[in-house]
Amino acid sequence: MKKINTTINFEINGGNKLHGSIATNASKNGSVGLLCASLLNKGKTTLHNIARIEEVNRVIEVLESIGVKIKWIGPQSLIITPPKKFKIENLDSESAVKTRSIIMFAGPLIHYLKKFSLPHAQGCKLGKRTVSAHIYGLQELGVKIKVTNQNYEIDSDKLKPTEIIMYESGDTACENLLTAASLVEGKTTIKFTTANYMVQEICFFLEHLGVKIDGIGSTTLTIHGIKEINKDIEYYNSEDPIESMMWITSAIATNSTLEIQKCPIDFLELELYKLKKMGLKYKILKNYKSKNSRTNLADIKILPSKLKALEDKIEARPYPGLNIDNLPFFGLIAACAKGTTLIHDWVYENRAIYLTELNRLGATVLLADPHRVYIEGPTQFKPAQIVCPPALRPSVVIMLAMLSAKGKSMLRNVYMINRGYEDIVKRFRTIGADIKEVRD
């Protein structure tokens, strides 16, 4: 799946009600994190429920370029076989810079390469995104990191267990430090961590590899590092709460009845509670476990509702706050609600700006500053032709608004959406959406 040059667009005939049921797919961030963490294992790792998305494709291309053998054995299962020696000099830089996940290679690779470099990443264009939490945390473990214009130059000659105060509660930084500490013999404590779904997924996986971790689900993690991991294992990735939120939002935007299955409920409860206070009607139909035996899932039925704006601003926080990746969906939901809503996206300098694209579809979105927008609703969306912004969640929000807008819309250059969502057109069509791919 190397280097796709064709531009893919979505043609959407909106205004249709959605119906039936749709199951939440594999976690995007869990898939990427598990692929990176598998580098710790000298044995064979079989991963199930891995998302077949562009972001995962890029990570696999990088892994294969440094000598890792990867074989798909089913629609969402693969076998990872590490090389005897990583060929870091062959690293596929073109694929690496397309994903922010490349820095997560640092945590595992410090145990196998004394000196190496990783390129700076791109991913979504959301303004300045600091990697200080990665660098400072790794330095506490004894890693030396020099930042150049193009690369992170990493020297890991002397590693030691330690106590780490996280510079910020970043998800990828926490995952990186978890994998780094796992093969440093002794006890490493990481404080001010995030307990978000992808971090817990990596903890569950590391436990499966034989690493003892105390405090999973809290803001302090204690990792009991071991000398070596060399075992053949199988592990199931859990489902994606951000995708569940997308389906919830699609039902709200189209005022539809829709059942969403396999929702990671622990990571959606606050979102649902805020929606309940806005007037959303929904039912929890069933509770059960994901195949990893740890993540709690639920089937949720969304019902047509008249929403009203909340009096308080809506903002995101590290878990257990409203998920940072779910905040853009509340921009669209606010446009469907009666009244004025303040959305405060304090994390990223640029992301709130992309919500103003909804104005081209008939919304009333006022940009207050790079972090805040006022959104007035309810909105009668109208069709339009829009180029996807260079950010995943805002691109999806525009797509959902187009599903609500009666008439034909065109969303151009949807690579950003395909980065994070698998078979999105096919799956929306199964629940009544009139959407198709058009290639330039």
DSSP assignment of 308-362, as one string? Answer: B--SS-EE--STTSS-GGGHHHHHHHHHHSBEEEEEE--S-SSHHHHGGGGGGGT
From residue 271, how far is each of 59, 417, 440 by CA, in Å?
Answer: 30, 22, 38
Residue 124 to residue 299: CA distance in whole angstroms: 30
Q: What is the pLDDT of residue 127?
A: 46
106 in helix, strand or coil?
Answer: helix
Beta strand ranges found along 237-326 (DSSP E) = 258-264, 281-289, 296-303, 314-315
Q: Residue type at 99?
A: T
The pair of structure tokens assigned to 327 is 């905040």
State residue 340's pLDDT score.
98
**Do the domains 8-25+240-439 and 28-236 sit in the same CATH topology, yes or no?**
yes
For every one of its 440 residues, what pLDDT tens digit does the chain have, with 9 covering 90 and above?
444 457 999 999 999 999 999 999 999 999 999 999 999 999 999 999 999 999 999 999 999 999 999 999 999 999 999 999 999 999 999 999 888 789 999 999 999 999 999 998 765 454 445 789 999 999 999 999 998 888 999 999 899 999 999 999 999 999 999 999 999 999 999 999 999 999 999 999 999 999 999 999 999 999 999 999 999 999 999 999 999 999 999 999 999 999 999 999 999 999 999 999 999 999 999 999 999 999 999 999 999 999 999 999 999 999 999 999 999 999 999 999 999 999 999 988 888 999 999 999 999 999 999 999 999 999 999 999 999 999 999 999 999 999 999 999 999 999 999 988 999 999 999 999 999 999 98
Q: Which fold has domain 28-236?
A: UDP-n-acetylglucosamine1-carboxyvinyl-transferase; Chain (3.65.10)
Q: How many CB atoms lie within 10 A of CB 440?
A: 8
C-alpha closest to that of 192 among 163, 159, 162: 163
What is the fold of 8-25+240-439? Answer: UDP-n-acetylglucosamine1-carboxyvinyl-transferase; Chain (3.65.10)
Instruction: Give the pLDDT of residue 57.
Output: 95
Query: Rounded distance, CA 373 to CA 398, Å?
Result: 16
The two beta strands, 144-147 and 115-119, are unpaired
H helices within 25-131, ranges in order? Answer: 28-37, 54-65, 93-96, 106-109
Q: Which amino acid is it at 313?
A: K
Query: What do you get for the CA distance between the two ends of the chain, in Å?
Result: 19
**How many other CB atoms sit within 10 Å of the CB of residue 313?**
11
Which among 54, 133, 141 is positioned nearest to 395, based on CA atoms? 54
Residue entry with tokens 């007035």: 376
Domain ranges in the chain? 8-25+240-439, 28-236
